[in-house]
Amino acid sequence: MKKTLRIQESELRTHKSVLLEETVQGLELQKGNTAIDATVGVGGHSEKIAHILGKKGTLVAIDLDENSLSSAKKRLSDSDPHIIYLQGNFRNVKKLAEEAGITSVDGIVFDLGWHSEQLASGKGISFNSDEPLLMTLGSSESHLYTAKDIIKDWDEDEIARIIREYGEEKFSGRIARVIVETRKKQPINTARELAEVIRSAVPGFYRNGRLNPATRTFQALRIAVNDELGALKEALQNALELLAPEGRLAVISFHSLEDRIVKQAFRNAEDTGIGKRITKKPIIPTSEEREKNPRARSAKLRIFEKNTL
């Protein structure tokens, strides 16, 4: 346990958010502004934003994960602006802010990635772990089902559908079939056990490829359990309503399904006169950042600005 804590504290000190400079610069915040980090994580973006806002500014830090909020508080303990910490799903960003007395903001950031503390949360998010198959963000009690429920109880066609649609996995049918065959013989209880089942289901060339063969299936299960795509659609609508005139919304996505939703939402908002897209094409990490941080390789940043009244 002590070793794990030391690792987490080291990661907290060295963690740098993907597309950090591009995101914060793109928000064009000024001293005294009000901003929201709706997925604060361990506070990477918030730390940079807080420095810009200064003592007269206000920062709202939101995260569904209680441990992430605790980490962010440690990281931001010496920051200048007034910081309001709120635990909740970013899909409810407008409601959460208004309950805290914030009705208009100058900048909002969504970082849709998962950080290392969440991957080591004990909920089976990492396919290299012997953790139970939960994959829940926040309290498991607030979810309709866990990843284990899907693997244990859902029929083959439905498992294949979510792996295909949410994971964009070309071997979804084979993987679903082997999952169902395996669970008839023995329960699949941990992330590592599921990863081995998936590995056995796919062809050799895919099994030994650059990407772990379980990656897309785990992504699909996590999206299904946490309703990530539905949450994103709601969050974008709420964020656009919450923005002040000339306020900006920045969203960092990490897979094509998320980016497609952001792209369409921003285009629709522009077409209906709500504002304009600052990024017609997404900003992607530099080759240097991708080399230093493999997590950055699929990141895309899109920014939207609300019109003046």
Q: Look at residue 129 in the predicted model and tell me its pLDDT.
A: 87
Q: Domain spans of the chain?
A: 2-117+228-306, 126-226
Identify the residue whose tokens are 């600005």.
305
Identify the residue whose tokens are 């950080």.
115
Q: What CATH number is given for 126-226 in this structure?
A: 1.10.150.170
Type of residue found at 18: V
Strand order in the sheet with 300-306: 82-87, 58-63, 34-37, 105-111, 243-253, 300-306, 275-277
| Residues forming beta bridges with residue 9, ordered by sequence position | none
Three-state SS annotation for 210-268:
CCCCCHHHHHHHHHHHHCHHHHHHHHHHHHHHHEEEEEEEEEEECCHHHHHHHHHHHHH
* Tokens standing for residue 122: 């004990």
179-201 pLDDT, tens digit per residue, is: 999 999 999 999 999 999 999 99
Which pLDDT band holds residue 118 (cuts at 50, 70, 90)?
A: low
Q: Look at residue 116 in the predicted model and tell me its pLDDT.
A: 55
* Tokens standing for residue 185: 């013989």
Identify the residue whose tokens are 């949450």.
231
Fold type of domain 2-117+228-306? Rossmann fold (3.40.50)
Type of residue found at 69: L
The CA distance from 112 to 99, in Å, is: 23
Q: Look at residue 160 in the predicted model and tell me its pLDDT.
A: 98
The CA distance from 42 to 147, in Å, is: 25
Q: What is the pTM of this model?
A: 0.90
Name the 3-class secondary structure at 98. Answer: helix
- Cα maximum dimension of the chain: 64
Q: Look at residue 15 in the predicted model and tell me its pLDDT.
A: 54
pLDDT at 287 over 70: yes
- If you count them, how many residues does the chain have? 309
Return left, alpha or beta for 122; rule: phi > 0 is left, psi -120 to 50 is alpha, else beta.
Answer: left
The CA distance from 151 to 135, in Å, is: 12
Which pLDDT band holds residue 119 (cuts at 50, 70, 90)?
A: low
Q: Look at residue 9 in the predicted model and tell me its pLDDT.
A: 41
Backbone angles phi, psi at 114, to 5 degrees: -105, 130
5-32 pLDDT, tens digit per residue, is: 333 444 444 456 899 999 999 999 999 9
Name the 3-class secondary structure at 136. Answer: coil
The CA distance from 224 to 217, in Å, is: 11
Lowest mean pLDDT among 105-119, 261-275, 280-294: 105-119
The CA distance from 152 to 194, in Å, is: 11
Nearest Cα to Cα of residue 41 among 16, 72, 87, 13:
72
Type of residue found at 124: G
Type of residue found at 132: P
pLDDT at 117 over 70: no
